Amino acid sequence: MFRPLLIASLLFACLPASSAPGEETAQSSKRAASRQGTPYAGNEEAMAFADEVAEKRKLDREWVRGVVAKAQKVPLVARLMQPAPAATAKNWRLYRSRFIDPVRINAGVRFWQANKDTLERAEKEFGVPAEIIVGIVGVETIYGQQMGDFRVLDAVATLAFDFPDSHPRKEEREKYFRGELEHFLAYHSLMGTDPLRPRGSYAGAMGMPQFMPSSIVRWAVDYDGDKSIDLSRSADDVIGSVANYFRSYGWKPGMPTHYPVGFDKEKLDLDALMAPDILPTFSVASFQSKGALLEGPALEHKGPLALVELQNGGDAPQYVAGTENFYVITRYNWSSYYAMAVIELGREVREAMQKQAEARKAS
């Protein structure tokens, strides 16, 4: 059985392995320098935020102010958060090639084989297929190979107080990251752990599954029973936490993520089918009445469907009929391209394992 966060102590850190003396290269020194910035100690807005969090959460005011004062504004974080140029065309084939490759597939096979029993246990307890969990961890960090080396405090503080002005959703995103910084501070105050130690992505995501601070608080679980939660080194905790995340968002055991879809050109009302975006809205009957063509198991689907469009640059887009489970995957990352990459990586890993098993039987 797993333990929820507030019962277990969480190893809230994604620390890279320390180098032996003399191993640091000029490149690593340059990378470290790019992650340095200006402390928020003299920033009135940041200090006012610290006071608000201390009062709201009943935390020690001087401790919160001291931590926020040590947070640094890192220009590189803000630059990496800039939106893609408006003219950049979405391209599913290119996006897919970044995540479905031999490196991730082979690493996924090793991860699945090493954690087969835990994946089976999580699938039984949470209803989330092993290949979806494997797909998530592979897309996010190549099974722990790329967990990020930004100091989390600096990343979330930079995005909380200095989110790029050019971003069309600046106000919304800044509010989000202030919430993440609040969760981060409150956790470390509660647990008595060092908020300067955790490392993660430029957005503040941590560990093999790249959980944000609020996600760790809400969904991380102690799945190996050692009375701690370690999303950087415990594959059991990672697997259980990802499965718990999906179940919490309404994953339906046994339901496919999507079905093939075609079109009846004479009846097609593409605008109506695309209007809800990827939110499952249409019954099978209403879906087909607007010109979508389904066959086989899709015709027996009981829940709502959505038309998911995957653009291919200048070429014709691809379409699938997304189910509620497809939508659940997009709650991890709000992108249909991301969700499809997770699905297809998990499938490719599963098929690679099957081929290996068949080859062993034949030899």
Chunked mean pLDDT (size 10), the chain, 363 residues: 40 39 50 75 97 98 98 96 79 96 98 98 98 98 97 98 91 97 96 94 97 96 95 97 98 98 96 96 98 97 97 95 98 96 98 93 85
154 and 226 inside one domain: yes
219 and 265 inside one domain: no
156 and 212 inside one domain: yes
Given this model, what pLDDT does residue 321 score? Answer: 98
183 and 222 inside one domain: yes
Instruction: Choose among 279, 307, 276: nearest CA to 291.
Output: 307
Given this model, what pLDDT does residue 21 score? Answer: 40
Given this model, what pLDDT does residue 8 score? Answer: 35
Given this model, what pLDDT does residue 36 score? Answer: 75
Separation CA 306–CA 322 (nearest Å): 5
In a domain, 178, yes or no: yes
71 and 176 inside one domain: yes
Given this model, what pLDDT does residue 31 score? Answer: 61
The two structure tokens encoding residue 104: 């991730």
In a domain, 340, yes or no: no
214 and 264 inside one domain: no
Last residue of a domain, one of 184, 216, 231: 231
In a domain, 209, yes or no: yes
276 and 158 inside one domain: no
Given this model, what pLDDT does residue 203 score? Answer: 97
In a domain, 317, yes or no: yes
80 and 227 inside one domain: yes
Given this model, what pLDDT does residue 11 score? Answer: 41
In a domain, 336, yes or no: no
297 and 151 inside one domain: no
Give the CATH number for residue 174.
1.10.8.350
In a domain, 137, yes or no: no
Separation CA 119–CA 128 (nearest Å): 9
Whether 140 is a known active-site residue: answer yes
Per the structure, the complete domain to which residue 194 belongs is given by 3-19+30-86+146-231
67 and 189 inside one domain: yes
154 and 67 inside one domain: yes
Given this model, what pLDDT does residue 83 score? Answer: 79
CB count in 10 Å sphere of residue 299: 11
**Which listed residue (140, 182, 309, 348) is catalytic?**
140
In a domain, 164, yes or no: yes
Given this model, what pLDDT does residue 16 score? Answer: 38
In a domain, 114, yes or no: no
154 and 220 inside one domain: yes
Count the domains in the chain: 2
